[in-house]
Amino acid sequence: MTEGRPISLEELRARFEQEQVQNAKLRSLDGMARKGGAQAEAAEKAKRRLFLGNKREGK
């Protein structure tokens, strides 16, 4: 990540915005999951993909 160097304001802002987008996606998927049925199953799969994608990127 930023080992050995300070983080720039632009980089910090970009990370914050990316995190906001991911949080919005998760809120939307949580709403879908509460409805039940096939839509809930798809939402759970999408949440897992989003989480695993973050883990692969080292976040």
In a domain, 58, yes or no: yes
Q: What is the pLDDT of residue 16?
A: 95
In a domain, 17, yes or no: no
In a domain, 50, yes or no: yes
Give 10-residue mean pLDDT values along the chain (59 residues).
80 94 88 82 85 66
DSSP state of 5: S
**Segment holding 24, helix H or strand E:** helix 9-35
Q: What is the pLDDT of residue 13?
A: 96
In a domain, 35, yes or no: yes
In a domain, 48, yes or no: yes
Q: What is the pLDDT of residue 10?
A: 95
Domain enclosing residue 37, as ranges: 29-59
Number of domains into which the chain is organized:
1
In a domain, 18, yes or no: no
Provide the whole-model pTM.
0.59
In a domain, 5, yes or no: no
